Amino acid sequence: MHDSLGLLAHAVSRVKSIDPNTVTATTAIEDLLMDSLDEVEVMMFLEDELGIEIDQAQIEPCVTVGDFVAVIDGLVAHRKHN
């Protein structure tokens, strides 16, 4: 079993040099101050760790970290069923 929130927090903390404990499900993505390169780095980290492919269009509507986690969990669940 994986911890999507923990992995996402770890990825963001690596890219932005912030404490991963400050990244919660209710954190607004815009508050993370990530530019497009940061987002790509986070997505690549998650793809490698979880064996999934994340399309930028899937995360564009995400407002909070929790929204992003829901996308990740959906992709992982889909991968497990295929």
List the domain boundaries for the chain.
4-81
CATH number for the segment(s) 4-81: 1.10.1200.10
Q: What is the pLDDT of residues 46-64, one digit of tens each?
A: 999 999 999 999 999 999 9
pLDDT under 50 in the chain at which residues? 1
Note the pLDDT of residue 75: 95
Helix spans in 1-82 (H)? 4-16, 36-50, 56-59, 65-81
Q: Note if the pTM is more than 0.75.
A: yes
